[in-house]
Structure formats: C-alpha cells, structure tokens
C-alpha cells in the first residue's frame, strides 16, 4: 500500500536521484591546493608514504634543503644578471635546472606541512594522500533530501488509522494491535537504515572514484581533522563507526516522527512538527553547536564523535552553562527555546499516557512498549540537546554588507582628519585619528574594545568615512577564526561585517596554526596587504608566496597568482604583482587573461590610478613612473630610493640615503618639481595620504613620539 497505492516508490526514487546529483555537483571539503599540484605531490609523497621513520624524516629535510639551495642559486644568478656578469642566455642556462625543481615547490610545501603535522605524533600520524578520506569525513552530512523523503513516507505509515478513525476497528481484529504496530516499526526503521546506508555507500564510492581511498589501515589520526583524537581506530574502522552513528541518528529521527504521530494524528501537523524539530537547531545553532547536540542532529553529523578531544560530560556542560549566562546570550536563548520545546512535548506525552481510557487505547494500539521506550529516550536526548546547545558557543557567519574596489593604505584622509596606524605610542590605541586643523589626536581603536586573543592587523582598508580592519583570532578554543570589522568615523561604531570560523588549522587552503607549545617549526601565518574587490577578500599567503582569494559570500578559497614579497595592487579588474624574475605582471580577474608590462622590472611598486611608481632594480633602484594608458615610463629620482615611497594627491614622496643627498624628497608625478622636504636627521617615519596634499612624520628625536604634519 505504501509503495504502490501511495506512490512511495516515486518519492524514494526522486530523493535518491536528487541526492546523487547534489553529491556530484557540489564541492566537498578537500584541499584544493593538493588537487592543483596532485601529480607532483603524489610523486614527491611516494617515497615517504606511511609511518614517519628516521629515514623519511632525513629524506624530507634533505629535499627541503635542495629547494632552498635552488632558490638561493637563482637569486645569485639574478643578481649577477642585473650586475652584467651574466648575459641572458647564460642566466637562463644556469637557472633552467633550478626552475624545473622549483616548479615542484608548491607540491613539496604541501607535503612538508603534512610532515610537520605528522612529526608531532609519528606513532599515530602517517603520511598519505588524504583528500579522498577528507571528502568522506568532512563533507556536509546534512542529508536534507533523504530526511524529508523519510518524512513524506513515514508519516503515512503511522497515521493511516488516525486519518480514517479506524483504531476501534483494528482493536477488534486478531492482528490489529501488536503485529500491526511491529510491522510499522519494522518498515519505518528498515526504510531509514536502508536510505542512510545507501547515502553513505554512495559517498564512499564517489570519494573512491574521484580521489581514491588509499591505506584504510592507517591510523585515523593521519587525517588532520582527527589529529587529536584519542580513539584507537584505523581509518576504515572510523568510517564504519561513522556509518553506525548516522544509522543510530536515523533511528532516533524515525522515533521522533513516531513520537509526534502519537498525539498530533494529522498529516500536516505531524509533518510540520517533525520538520520544525529538525530545522530549529539548524537555524538557531551553528555547526559547532549542532555537532555537539545529543539528539538526532548530532548523531547524524557523526564526525565530531570521532575526534575525541571534546569534553562531553554533564559536569562540563553545567560549567559551560554557567558561563553561558554571562557571555553567550544568543546561544543561551537558543538553548532556552529548545528547552521550552522539550517541556511542551513532555507535557503532551504525559496527557496521552495518564488521561482517559480512550487516550490509553490509542497509545496501546499505536505504541507498544518498544515505542513507549523510544519516546522516553527521545525526551532524554532532546533535554541534553537543549543543554548542549545553550552551553557551547560558536561564531556565526554573516553576509558582507558593503563591498567596493579601492586601494589599501597605511594612512587615510577624510575631510580634515587623518587616520593612521601608530606603533610608537604608549597609549592603548593602535589606530589613531588626527585633526590637522586643530592638532587634536584621538586613539580610535583601544585594546579593551577587543575580545581576548583578538589581534589587530596594522594594515587597514578605508573608503570615505568607513574604515575596514582585519582581525585574527588564532586561539579561539579549538577553532581559529578570521574577522573583518567596520569602523564608522562619524559614529565611532565598531561592528563585525564578516566572521569566518575554521574547523581545522588545515581546512581548505587557508592555514591558521593552533597555539602549539614547544613546536618552533610552526611559523605564524601572516595575512597582510588585503583587498576587498567585487565580493572577494584578496590577501597574500606568505607561506607559498601567492595571492589567494576568499569569496565572502560562500567561503570558497582560490589561488590567484604568484606574488613576490606581498606586493600587489588593483586597477579596474586587473591585478598587478611582481613575478620571480622581478617583472611587473598583470592578471585580469574577470577574463583570466595574463600579461606583463614590457621592460618594467621592479622590487617594489605603488599603483596610483593609471600610473605605476616602481623601484627599478636594473637602474640601481631608482624610482620610475609608468603610464598604463600611454605605456611609457620616465624617471622620478636621480638616485636609489628606499622601498617606503608613498603617493599623495599631486606628488610622490620618497626617501633617499646617499653621500650626496639624503632626506625625504617629493616630486610631481611627471618627474618634475623635485624638492627636498625634510633632512635625514629630521624624521624617522612618514605617512603620505592619497586623497590630500602633505604628510605626517615622526621626528628623529627619541625623546618625542608626537607625530608632526608637513604641508
């Protein structure tokens, strides 16, 4: 009746087809960098695959030394080429072998990072290609399509008699009570187990087909997500446990539908109630909160239970619940809502059990002892779920409200105010506001405004009266985080516009290391020179000397281009940067086209509209200008300049240190009207402002930290 007359087979077929299509179309949580360099990565990995031995350690360290020597040899050859000691053919001949090796460095960097992770616990962390297993364990396990298919099928199973007022008739038949109910339970639980098993096996087969699932006998801790797990499982055993957890969660979910069908007795009421109980935690809670839920959702996720590094005892939950009242009102509200929902369900169930004989008759017909026990377990699970949700907090991802294309600057001019970063002041303000008319100075950003462990990045991003700041919170419990704040110079309000939580320091292609004691080989991850451009955050990854992008709308990471020393900028849709040969190159972010500026070599550059000001390494680091519209270049300085040159509204400021002339100079952007602004002994640091004429400078005297304005 269920499959033929009520067309249940159509629901199941459509659900399975949609589920398979979604798995094929939507990306899974793999490391895209590994896939990009997969051939080289697997070639380098092959000799070291498996347990980390002394021989493999020595081999990886030696290979790292070879890459370092090749890079240094190329630098020496480049210096000799610029000095005229090598012609172009000799230079290319000398660097060809090194270039062939260095082409594989991104792949080796991935292996070395995996090696650094395994070196912490070599007895339980082996080296292997993990993307296949990551796609199985770390993809989003919310099978909403199958959940709602189960809803559409299981609700009629439990409500047929209620719909037609047939329970009195069934009670008078021989098979009207226990056999009928047991048959329904068998059908409901059997369908649930079959669908969830099919879903898991499909994901398993898809991961094996797309990426491969090598070495299932390796320890589970070899996968970075489970690096701190205390579970003594192999990867294959962990996969089996994950399937078991999800099946238990599915049975719990089917019991939830049975529980609601005991008293709602209407298709629409039961359907909507069960769907709401499934969706409410997902709306009110974050992924982290849902992962700890002691009800169906937490078990259906499954993966967090394998990690083994979370405290789940009742005492810990009570302790965190006490902190919740002080620190996490939003999470507390979510927990209280769930708790109120549980209380309502408990009262409803008590009415069913303790009232009139007619109620008892229906319960007796529809819920024998097995079903009544399932409702009791369901009540306990929902109660623990509400406490867990209230006690465990996490970041919420929010949409970015304001995006624009502008230049990052270390100083910003707005009306009569100047905003700049202050490293030398003893005051608690890192970001300062100066009124150039009155000389009044205000510390905009105070450390007490920030939560514990938040770190202010000295670079900021400004547009009119809005200043955008990037923060890193590397030690936020188990999970590193990245945040972007908006500071309004009119109201002085500081609010987050984007928050991104990373479940693992090795998630995707952005790696923010945990706080690890006694492990000096973890270098601090650096994000600087960041830009917001058409919905994406672009930043320099100093580990790989690359520019990467983070789509603020969906969290997708991409590798954009190679970048030497983090120097890059935008003009229109083009990204300009410096390649390994010090040539200025560009990448069109819309079309993907690439190109170079003929004859323009640079150690450092500034993009100002359609003008590029750059240090020319072929001319003893003289300062040159290049026009993107006319494709012509001209000199600005007569001698070498420091890298800290800055552009104002009509002029460019640069620092010269030589025997003939030293100090802070300025010139018109066409190279004329050169003048000395400050003598060498008069200043230590300076800031120029793209939107105004003049600059801030810090006097050379160590006795003062007061910034001065130079018109």
- What does the pLDDT look like over 567-608, one tens digit per residue? 777 776 788 888 767 788 888 877 778 888 887 888 788 887
d(C-alpha 598, C-alpha 585), whole Å: 9
Q: What is the mean pLDDT of residues 202-226?
A: 87
d(C-alpha 379, C-alpha 384), whole Å: 9
Residues 18 and 38 in one domain: no
Q: What is the mean pLDDT of residues 17-35?
A: 75
Residues 349 and 278 in one domain: yes
Residues 188 and 234 in one domain: yes
The candidate with the shortest Cα–Cα distance to 271, out of 381, 159, 166, 192, is 159
Lowest mean per-residue pLDDT among 6-15, 142-151, 281-290? 281-290
Domain end (from 77, 100, 119): 119
Residues 20 and 143 in one domain: yes
Residues 174 and 287 in one domain: yes
Looking at per-residue pLDDT, the higher value among 325 and 166 belongs to 166
> Order of strands across the sheet with 695-699?
683-688, 695-699, 708-710
Residues 340 and 431 in one domain: no
Domain span including residue 269 = 8-29+130-391
Question: Quick one: pLDDT band at residue 288, thresholds 50, 70, 90?
Answer: low
The candidate with the shortest Cα–Cα distance to 456, out of 443, 441, 473, is 473
Range ranked top by mean pLDDT from 58-62, 161-165, 262-266, 366-370:
58-62
| Residue 53 falls inside a structural domain | yes
Domain end (from 361, 391, 421): 391
d(C-alpha 253, C-alpha 266), whole Å: 18
Looking at per-residue pLDDT, the higher value among 185 and 331 belongs to 185
pLDDT of residue 113: 75
CB within 8 Å of 635: residues ≥ 6 apart = 619, 622, 623, 624, 625, 671
| Residue 571 falls inside a structural domain | no
Range ranked top by mean pLDDT from 57-61, 376-380, 416-420, 488-492:
57-61
Lowest mean per-residue pLDDT among 127-141, 390-404, 539-553, 594-608? 390-404
Residues 415 and 426 in one domain: yes
498 pLDDT higher than 70: no
Residues 81 and 224 in one domain: no
230 pLDDT higher than 60: yes
pLDDT of residue 236: 92
95 pLDDT higher than 80: yes
Residues 25 and 138 in one domain: yes
pLDDT of residue 29: 60
d(C-alpha 37, C-alpha 43), whole Å: 10
Q: Per the structure, how many domains does the chain have?
A: 4
Looking at per-residue pLDDT, the higher value among 272 and 383 belongs to 272
Residues 625 and 614 in one domain: yes
Q: Taking every pair of C-alpha atoms in the chain, what is the biggest distance, in angstroms? A: 113
C-alpha 697: how far from chain center = 38
CB within 8 Å of 309: residues ≥ 6 apart = 228, 229, 230, 478
Range ranked top by mean pLDDT from 278-282, 298-302, 382-386, 681-685:
681-685
Q: Which helix (H) or strand (E) holds 551?
A: strand 546-551
The pTM (predicted TM-score) of the whole model is 0.49
Looking at per-residue pLDDT, the higher value among 366 and 402 belongs to 366
Domain end (from 65, 94, 119): 119
Looking at per-residue pLDDT, the higher value among 294 and 672 belongs to 672
| Residue 510 falls inside a structural domain | yes
Looking at per-residue pLDDT, the higher value among 523 and 266 belongs to 266
Question: What phi and psi values does residue 343 have, to the nearest 5 degrees?
Answer: -60, -40
> Order of strands across the sheet with 441-446?
411-414, 417-421, 429-435, 441-446
d(C-alpha 539, C-alpha 208), whole Å: 34
Question: Quick one: pLDDT band at residue 639, thresholds 50, 70, 90?
Answer: confident
> For 211-327, where are the alpha helices, taking DSSP H only?
235-261, 267-284, 287-292, 296-301, 304-307, 314-327
The CA R_g of the chain, rounded to the nearest whole Å, is: 32
CB within 8 Å of 572: residues ≥ 6 apart = none
Lowest mean per-residue pLDDT among 231-235, 431-435, 563-567? 563-567
d(C-alpha 579, C-alpha 605), whole Å: 13
Range ranked top by mean pLDDT from 121-135, 153-167, 693-707:
121-135
Which sign, positive or negative, has the C-alpha torsion 19, 21, 22, 24? Answer: positive
Contacts for 696-703: CB closer than 8 Å, 24+ residues apart: 696/411, 696/418, 696/420, 696/434, 697/664, 698/424
Looking at per-residue pLDDT, the higher value among 450 and 625 belongs to 625
631 pLDDT higher than 70: yes
Question: Quick one: pLDDT band at residue 310, thresholds 50, 70, 90?
Answer: very low
Question: Quick one: pLDDT band at residue 708, thresholds 50, 70, 90?
Answer: confident
């Amino acid at each position: 009746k269920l499959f033929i007359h009520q067309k249940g087979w159509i629901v199941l077929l459509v659900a399975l087809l949609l589920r398979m299509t979604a798995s094929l179309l939507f990306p899974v949580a793999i490391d895209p960098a590994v896939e990009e360099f997969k051939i080289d990565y697997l070639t380098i990995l092959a000799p070291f695959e498996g347990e980390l031995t002394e021989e493999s350690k020595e081999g990886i360290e030696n290979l790292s030394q070879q890459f370092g020597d090749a890079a240094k040899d190329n630098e020496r050859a480049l210096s000799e080429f610029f000095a005229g000691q090598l012609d172009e053919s000799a230079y290319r001949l000398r660097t060809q072998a090194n270039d062939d090796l260095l082409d594989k460095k991104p792949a080796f960097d991935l292996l070395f990072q995996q090696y650094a992770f395994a070196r912490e616990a070599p007895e339980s962390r082996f080296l292997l290609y993990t993307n296949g297993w990551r796609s199985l364990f770390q993809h989003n396990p919310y099978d909403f399509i199958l959940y709602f298919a189960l809803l559409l099928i299981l609700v009629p199973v439990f409500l047929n008699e209620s719909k037609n007022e047939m329970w009195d008739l069934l009670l008078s038949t021989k098979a009207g009570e226990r056999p009928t109910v047991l048959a329904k339970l068998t059908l409901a639980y059997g369908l649930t187990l079959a669908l969830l098993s099919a879903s898991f096996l499909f994901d398993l087969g898809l991961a094996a087909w797309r990426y491969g699932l090598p070495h299932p006998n390796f320890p589970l801790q070899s996968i970075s997500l489970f690096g701190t797990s205390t579970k003594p499982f192999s990867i294959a055993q962990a996969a089996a446990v994950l399937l078991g957890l999800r099946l238990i969660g599915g049975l719990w979910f089917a019991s939830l539908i049975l529980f609601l069908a005991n008293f709602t007795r209407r298709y629409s009421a039961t359907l909507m109630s069960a769907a709401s109980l499934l969706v409410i935690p997902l709306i009110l809670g974050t992924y982290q909160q849902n992962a700890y839920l002691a009800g169906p959702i937490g078990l259906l996720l499954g993966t967090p239970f394998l990690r083994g590094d979370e405290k789940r005892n009742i005492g810990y939950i009570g302790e965190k619940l006490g902190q919740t009242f002080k620190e996490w009102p939003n999470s507390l509200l979510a927990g209280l809502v769930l708790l109120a929902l549980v209380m309502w369900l408990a009262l409803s169930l008590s009415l069913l059990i303790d009232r009139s004989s007619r109620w008892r008759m229906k319960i007796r017909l529809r819920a024998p002892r097995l079903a009544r026990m399932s409702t009791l377990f369901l009540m306990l699970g929902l109660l623990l779920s509400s406490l867990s949700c209230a006690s465990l907090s996490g970041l919420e991802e929010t949409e970015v409200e304001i995006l624009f294309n502008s230049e990052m600057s270390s100083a910003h001019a707005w009306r009569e105010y100047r905003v700049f970063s202050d490293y030398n002041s003893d005051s608690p303000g890192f970001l300062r506001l100066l009124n150039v008319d009155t000389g009044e100075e205000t510390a905009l950003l105070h450390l007490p405004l920030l939560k514990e462990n938040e770190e202010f990045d000295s670079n900021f991003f400004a547009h009119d009266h809005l200043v955008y700041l990037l923060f890193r919170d590397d030690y936020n419990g188990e999970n590193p985080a990245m945040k972007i704040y908006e500071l309004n110079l009119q109201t002085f309000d500081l609010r987050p516009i984007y928050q991104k939580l990373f479940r693992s320091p090795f998630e995707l292609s952005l790696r923010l290391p945990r706080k690890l004691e006694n492990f000096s080989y973890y270098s601090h991850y650096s994000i600087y020179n960041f830009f917001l451009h058409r919905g994406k955050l672009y930043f320099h990854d100093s580990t790989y000397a690359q520019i990467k992008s983070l789509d603020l709308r969906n969290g997708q990471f991409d590798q954009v281009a190679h970048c030497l020393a983090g120097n890059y900028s935008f003009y229109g849709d083009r990204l300009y940067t410096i390649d390994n040969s010090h040539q200025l190159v560009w990448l069109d972010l819309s079309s993907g086209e690439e190109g170079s500026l003929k004859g323009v070599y640079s150690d450092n550059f500034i993009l100002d509209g359609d003008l590029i000001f750059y240090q020319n390494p072929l001319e003893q680091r003289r300062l040159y200008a290049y026009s993107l519209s006319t494709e012509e270049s001209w000199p600005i300085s007569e001698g070498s300049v420091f890298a800290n040159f800055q552009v104002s509204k009509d002029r460019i400021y640069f620092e010269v240190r030589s025997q003939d002339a030293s100090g802070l100079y300025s010139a018109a952007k066409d190279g004329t009207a050169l003048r000395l602004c400050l003598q060498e002994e008069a200043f230590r640091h300076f800031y120029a402002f793209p939107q105004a004429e003049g600059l801030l400078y810090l006097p050379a005297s160590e006795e003062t930290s007061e910034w001065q304005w130079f018109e």
